[in-house]
Amino acid sequence: MKTKFWGTRGSISAPSCKELSTIKYGGNTPCVEIIASDGTIVVIDMGTGMRVLGNELMGISPEGEKEKDTSFNTGKGEVSVLLSHFHWDHIQGMPFFKPLYVKGNKVDFYAGEGCEKNLKYQMKKPFFPVELNDTMSSKNYFEFKDGDIINIGCLKVEVRKLDHTDDVYGFRIEDGSKVVTYASDVEHDLNNKGNLMRLARDSDILIYDCQYTYMEYDPESHGQKGMGKRQWGHSIIQEGIKISAEAGVKKLVSFHHSPESGDVKIDDVIKFAEEYKKDFDSKLKIIAAHEGLEIDI
């Protein structure tokens, strides 16, 4: 099973600029591709990174030129989408996903309540010039709920509700004995920590929301003034380490980087995490997700 990262940023895209470099980790919002051992393709979330993934599936170069024929540009492609929730940063890439526009391609959408209605509404005029019904691919819409098990190709997907400002779901994706857990847009220590632990148990990879530093999340605990981020629906790397150690996770991937976190800041967070983990699980591997990252398990 291969995991590929096409968008790693949270809340809003963050193009690199003079004041804030995001070249190393990327500026696109969440999109993760899972390629199963049987070739099944599952996409988790449809942030702006989904545009880049779509070009790759269509055999289009970064310069916008067609390089080769693929199943998707010949109308024979199949892809399933798992959507954690409907916030803008997780759906903005859908209208720019080129395989949607090719007759013969099949796209299955899995999301919580309102799956079909909400996705179609996003592309209604005046928000977008092409409505979802007018795209040429074949589309199916499936609603899931907490505790559901979904079978997609050889993959078994467990769905659990997590804690965010609106309904959000995490996914445990199993390919035989290999496990990837996706827990973006989750706040620790609220109502559904048990669900998070169930998803994460013995995972090879835990993709976890580490949007804030502890200083940003709770400035008062550091004797600082300013607006904290409690109950904003996101987490910190310290909690990701604690959860990973308790659940027996092998590799923690810091994800959903704040649009205000540049490359240097994310580097510093990972350096801090390497020291912090020694009090919990020194064998845990910790990396920060970046666009183009591929992990084989």
- List the pLDDT tens digit at each of the 297 positions of the chain: 999 999 999 999 999 998 999 999 999 999 999 999 999 999 999 999 999 999 999 999 888 787 889 999 999 999 999 999 999 999 999 999 999 999 999 999 999 999 999 999 999 999 999 999 999 999 999 999 999 999 999 999 999 999 777 789 999 999 999 999 999 988 876 666 789 999 999 999 999 999 987 777 665 666 566 665 556 556 889 999 999 999 999 999 999 999 999 999 999 999 999 999 999 877 899 999 999 999 999
Are 205 and 181 in contact by the 8 Å Cβ rule? The answer is yes
Listed in order, strand segments (DSSP E) in 163-267 are: 168-175, 178-183, 205-209, 251-255
Distance (Å, rounded) from C-alpha 285 to C-alpha 179?
Answer: 15
Confidence (pLDDT) at 64: 79
The number of angstroms, rounded, from the C-alpha of 44 to the middle of its chain's C-alpha atoms is 6
Residue with token string 């929301």: 209
Q: Whole-model pTM above 0.85?
A: yes
Token pair, residue 53, equals: 């993934």
User: What does the angle CA 91 – CA 83 – CA 21 come to, to the nearest 5 degrees?
Assistant: 50
Position 229 scores a pLDDT of 57
Distance, in Å, from the CA atom of 15 to the CA atom of 18, rounded to the nearest integer, reads 10
Q: Under CATH, to which class is 2-296 assigned?
A: alpha beta
CA distance 115 to 84: 11
| CB-based burial, 135-170: b 16+ in 10 Å, e otherwise | bebebebeebeeeeebebeebebbbbbbbbeebbbb
Give how far the C-alpha of residue 31 lies from the chain's centroid of Cα atoms, to the nearest Å: 5
User: Cα torsion at 269, 272, 273, 277 (round to 10°)?
Assistant: -170
Helix (H) / strand (E) element for 145: namely none
**What is d(CA 25, CA 27) in angstroms, rounded to the nearest whole number?**
7
Residue 292's CB is within 10 A of a number of other CB atoms, namely: 12
